[in-house]
Amino acid sequence: MFVRKLQVRLSGPAGERPCPLKALDSFAMRSFTGETRFDDTLPAGEGRLEAGARVPLEALRAALEDWLRRKSYLQAGETVRIEEEEASDAGRY
């Protein structure tokens, strides 16, 4: 079980939307990204990602944004926003 529960949202001029599970899945596959520092990530649903304690959130956000842009999951003007849920919120899953 991963310690951190993250909300991943795509934010742009048209508003915000959860990051699609398909996009999170493709990013989490190391054979595609080659980023060992993100091995401790696990897609948990639409807009939800679980991560280990050592995963650097800003580096994750930047790498995920780059990946989603290259794979056309991110629309023009959109950015990735990642928020870590507090421990008391994590039970919502």
Q: What pLDDT score does 38 carry?
A: 80
Kindly report each contact of residues 39-42 with a partner whose C-beta sits within 8 Å and lies 24 or more positions away, as own/partner.
Answer: 40/2, 41/2, 42/2
Residues of the chain under the 50 pLDDT cut: 31, 90
DSSP element (H, E) containing 15: strand 15-18
Burial class of 49 by CB neighbour count within 10 A (0 to 12, 13 to 18, 19+):
buried
Task: List the domain boundaries for the chain.
Answer: 4-92
- Compute the residue count for the chain: 93
Q: What is the pLDDT of residues 58-68, one digit of tens each?
A: 999 999 999 99
CA distance 7 to 80: 10
Q: What pLDDT score does 31 carry?
A: 45
Q: What pLDDT score does 75 carry?
A: 86
